Chains A and B, each alone.
Chain A
Amino acid sequence: MASEILTPEVRVAPGRRVLLHVKRWPASLWVGGLILALFTLVAITGPLWAPYDPTMFGTGIPFSPPSSSHLLGTDQLGRDVFSRIVYGAPIDLFLALASTFLALIVGGSLGLLSGYVGGWFDDVLMRIFDGLISIPLLIFALLIIAAAGPEESGSMVLLIGVVALVYMPRIARMARAVAVDLATRDFVTVARTRGESAWSIVRRELVPNATGVLLVEFGVRAGYAPIIIGSLGFLGFGARPPTPEWGLMISENRSAITADPIVVLAPALALALLVIGLNLFTDGFARVIGRTIQRGPI
Chain B
Amino acid sequence: MIVKLVIKRLFLALVTLLVVSAFIYWTTAILPGDVAARVLGRESTPAQRALFDKQMHLDQPVPVRYAIWLNGVVHGDFGRSLASQLSVSGIVAPALSNTLLLGLYALVLYVPISVLLAALSAVFRGRPLDAGITIVTLVGLSLPEFALGTLLLIAFAVIWPVLPAMATIEQVQGPLDFLRTAALPALTLTIAMSVYAVRMLRDNLIDVLNSDYVRMATLNGLPRRRIVLRHALPNALGPALNITALNLAYLIGGVVVVENVFAYPGVGTLLVNSISVRDAPVIEAATLIVSGVYILANLIADVAAMLLNPRLRTS
Partners in one complex: yes
Report which A residues bind B (CB closer than 8 A): 1-2, 127-128, 130-132, 134-139, 142-147, 149-151, 223, 226-227, 230-231, 234-237, 247, 250-251, 254, 257-258, 261, 264-265, 268, 271-273, 275-276, 279, 294-298
Q: Give me 19 A-to-B residue pairs in the complex whose CB atoms sit less than 8 angstroms apart, sorted by A's number.
A: A1-B141, A131-B19, A131-B22, A132-B23, A134-B17, A135-B20, A138-B257, A139-B253, A142-B272, A146-B31, A146-B278, A147-B27, A151-B32, A235-B257, A250-B146, A268-B151, A276-B142, A296-B246, A297-B246
Q: Which of B27, B139, B146, B271 contacts A231 (CB under 8 A)?
A: B146
- Is chain B's binding surface mostly helix, strand, loop or mixed? helix
Docked-complex contact B256 and A139, CB < 8 angstroms: yes
Would you give the shortest CB distance from A33 to chain B, in whole angstroms? Answer: 16
The distance in angstroms between the C-alpha atoms of A7 and B20, with both chains bound, is 30
Would you give the shortest CB distance from B69 to chain A, in whole angstroms? Answer: 15
**Chain A residues with CB below 8 A from B200, complex form:** 294, 296
Given A134-B16, A134-B291, A151-B32, answer yes or no on A296-B243 (Cβ-Cβ < 8 Å).
yes
The distance in angstroms between the C-alpha atoms of A145 and B278, with both chains bound, is 11
Q: Which of B30, B143, B256, B278 contacts A268 (CB under 8 A)?
A: B143
Docked-complex contact B147 and A143, CB < 8 angstroms: no
Would you give the shortest CB distance from B102 to chain A, in whole angstroms? Answer: 15
The distance in angstroms between the C-alpha atoms of A150 and B31, with both chains bound, is 10
Docked-complex contact A265 and B154, CB < 8 angstroms: yes
Q: Which residue of A lies closest to B200 (CB)?
A: A294
Excluding A135-B294, A296-B200, 17 further A-B contacts by CB distance (< 8 Å) are: A136-B252, A136-B256, A138-B254, A143-B287, A146-B278, A147-B27, A223-B142, A234-B144, A251-B146, A261-B159, A273-B142, A276-B139, A295-B196, A296-B196, A296-B246, A297-B246, A297-B250
Chain B interface, number of residues (Cβ within 8 angstroms): 59
Docked-complex contact A139 and B146, CB < 8 angstroms: no
Would you give the shortest CB distance from B137 to chain A, in whole angstroms? Answer: 10
Would you give the shortest CB distance from B133 to chain A, in whole angstroms? Answer: 15
B98 at the interface (CB under 8 A from A): no
